[in-house]
């Protein structure tokens, strides 16, 4: 996608001009790429991979019992994410994305 130049040079122009939606941000940054239960869904992980990230699905406690490698990933994620600053609930009392992801990983 070009940043400067004519609108015709922009990759998503035809789709946008015909009334379609052309997004400038990746799916992992939008609602479409986020799992309502916490973390990213498959579409979000695919869009992040296109940007060079290597994200894997979350590991629950039951999955960690079967694999020591997965258990290490889970332990590391829980240690890092639990220490992050920020609230567990927003102003309306709903859990934040941080709280949802910690719950998804069984932290």
Query: pLDDT digit of tens for each residue in the chain (107 aa)?
Result: 445 555 555 555 555 555 556 567 888 888 888 888 888 888 889 988 998 999 888 898 999 999 999 999 999 999 999 999 999 999 999 999 999 999 989 98
d(CA 57, CA 24): 25
| Residue 96, token pair as written in the block | 């934040």
Task: For the chain, give the secondary structure using H, E and C.
Answer: CCCCCCHHHCCCHHHHHCCCCCCCCCHHHCHHHECCCCCECHHHHHHHHHCCCCCCCCCCHHHHHHCHHHHHHHHHHHHHHHCCCCCCECCCCCECHHHHHHHHCCC
pLDDT of the residue at 36: 86
> Which pTM was predicted?
0.65
Taking alpha carbons only, the member of 62, 28, 68 closest to residue 45 is 28
d(CA 81, CA 3): 35
Whether the CB-CB separation of 60 and 106 falls below 8 Å is answered with yes
């Amino acid at each position: 996608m070009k940043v400067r130049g004519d609108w015709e040079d922009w990759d998503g122009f035809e789709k946008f001009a015909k009334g379609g939606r052309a997004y400038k941000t990746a799916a992992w940054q939008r609602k479409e790429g986020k799992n309502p239960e916490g973390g990213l869904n498959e579409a979000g992980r695919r869009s992040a991979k296109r940007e060079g990230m290597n994200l894997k699905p979350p590991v629950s406690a039951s999955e960690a019992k079967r694999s020591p490698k997965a258990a290490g990933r889970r332990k590391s994620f829980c240690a890092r994410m639990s220490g992050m600053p920020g609230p567990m609930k927003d102003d309306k009392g709903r859990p934040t994305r941080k709280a949802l992801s910690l719950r998804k990983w069984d932290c």
